[in-house]
Amino acid sequence: MSKLPGNAGVSLLGDKSLEFYRDPVSFCQQRIEKHRSRMFLCRLMNRPTAFICSVQGMRELLCEKSSLFLKDPTDLMTNMYGDTIVTTNGKHSHTYKMSVYTVFKSLGTELVLGLFLNVRAEKQPELFQEISQLCTQHWHGLISAPVNVKVPMWSSGFSIALDARNKLMDIIKDKLENDKEGFVGSLGSLPLPDSSSAAQHLLLFISALIPKALASLLTSFTLALARCQAAEDPDYLCRVLLEVQRLWPPFIGGRRIADQDSTLMGFHVPKDFGVIYISHAVHRDPEVFQEPDAFLPERWSGRNEGHEHFLCSFGNGPRSCIGAKLTNVFLKEVCVYLLNNFDWCLDPPVQNLEYKWLPVSRPANPPTVTFTQRDHTLSVYFCEGF
């Protein structure tokens, strides 16, 4: 059993959270090179934390030893969602300029609100807009400092998010009580453990997580195929989507707490240490993925065929994201529609496509893409904000 390379420093003064959140990819890459190890120790959120940047370590943490590493009961997900199983177009005749990231995110929002809550934008526009705005405020609580402060004329982002959560819960509880159709009607009739369980899970299902994951992956898909020849073969499309997910995972990773002394990758991890897996680094593990920084969809029909379980965009193992399959269904449907109806390219062809990774991965600068349909051209702009 070896000692983890790196050090956790002293409480508060040794914390590296700000440096990590500024640029998590560079943060990890610098330490991988410094320690010559894809697992290292730092202090994050004022807790000694082991960083995992390899497929082997990710699989040990999330699959083989998942019972030894628990979700942090004090994390923002629990505060924002409560106790859940996760936390315990027609044709146009004109030219348009639009924010594709925003359009993809809106599409995802329409899908989840219609599917899970029976709220459709065309039938209940005011309620749809209210829920969408509250979901955005609620999401911002996940990326803000967990400080609940209210003073006259000002409230902290976390406080606003908690208020949004309460308003969403009121809407959800009303739907559970009065709507007897669709998913919400079926969920309301189930004999769940307690009265709040159904509402808390619906809050999770309609939250901004799925729309933002879809928008991130669809944005990366659009840019990736703008730089290579798109093929409409379904098998090739699956390989493209796997490669998009590998290179540009929508979320940076996930965090656990060691419930007892254990080992990962042969390194000792003491009880109460944090452990974080970094999906960007795991997906570029050169021991598993040759030419890890290259966009090579064909790898999934070659050396990495059958290795989909080495990806952790949506977690992995028994506690992986319950919305991963649904997100993939939505993703494939949209991509098939785009491939069947449009050609597209970067316009201009040379642009800065450097990514930002928090809170959701996407290009830091808003690139432009031209979509061409049979009888018109659409000039599309990626938004800069959330």
Predicted pLDDT at 374: 57
- Nearest to 252, CA basis, from 7, 3, 94, 22: 22
Q: How many C-beta neighbours within 10 Å does residue 66 have?
A: 17
Kindly report whether the global pTM for this prediction surpasses the value 0.85: no
Main-chain phi, psi angles of 106, to 5 degrees: -65, -40
Is 180 within 8 Å of 188 (Cβ atoms)? Answer: yes
Burial annotation 214-250 (CB, 10 A radius, 16+ → b, else e): bbbbbbbbbbbbbeeebeeeeeebbbbbbbbbbbbbb
Main-chain phi, psi angles of 216, to 5 degrees: -65, -50
Predicted pLDDT at 73: 56
pLDDT at 3 over 90: yes
CA atoms within 13 A on the CB side of 257: 12
DSSP state of 313: B
Q: Using one digit for the tens of pLDDT, what is the confidence trace for 265-293?
A: 999 999 999 999 999 999 999 999 999 99
- Segment 170-179 shows an average pLDDT of 93
- Nearest to 61, CA basis, from 215, 242, 209, 279: 279
- pLDDT category, 94, cuts 50, 70, 90? very low
Q: Using one digit for the tens of pLDDT, what is the confidence trace for 176-206?
A: 999 988 999 888 888 877 778 889 889 988 8
Q: Kindly state the tokens that stand for 328.
A: 């993939």
Q: How many C-beta neighbours within 10 Å does residue 140 have?
A: 18
The proportion of the chain whose per-residue pLDDT surpasses 90, expressed as a percent, equals 48
Q: Say which amino acid occupies 290.
A: Q
Where are any strands of DSSP class E within the chain? 39-44, 47-52, 69-70, 97-99, 150-151, 154-155, 253-258, 262-264, 267-269, 274-278, 343-346, 355-356, 362-363, 368-372, 377-381
- pLDDT category, 229, cuts 50, 70, 90? low
Q: Using one digit for the tens of pLDDT, what is the confidence trace for 15-54?
A: 999 899 899 999 999 999 999 999 999 999 889 999 999 9
pLDDT at 115 over 70: yes
Q: Where are the domains of the chain?
A: 100-246+344-373
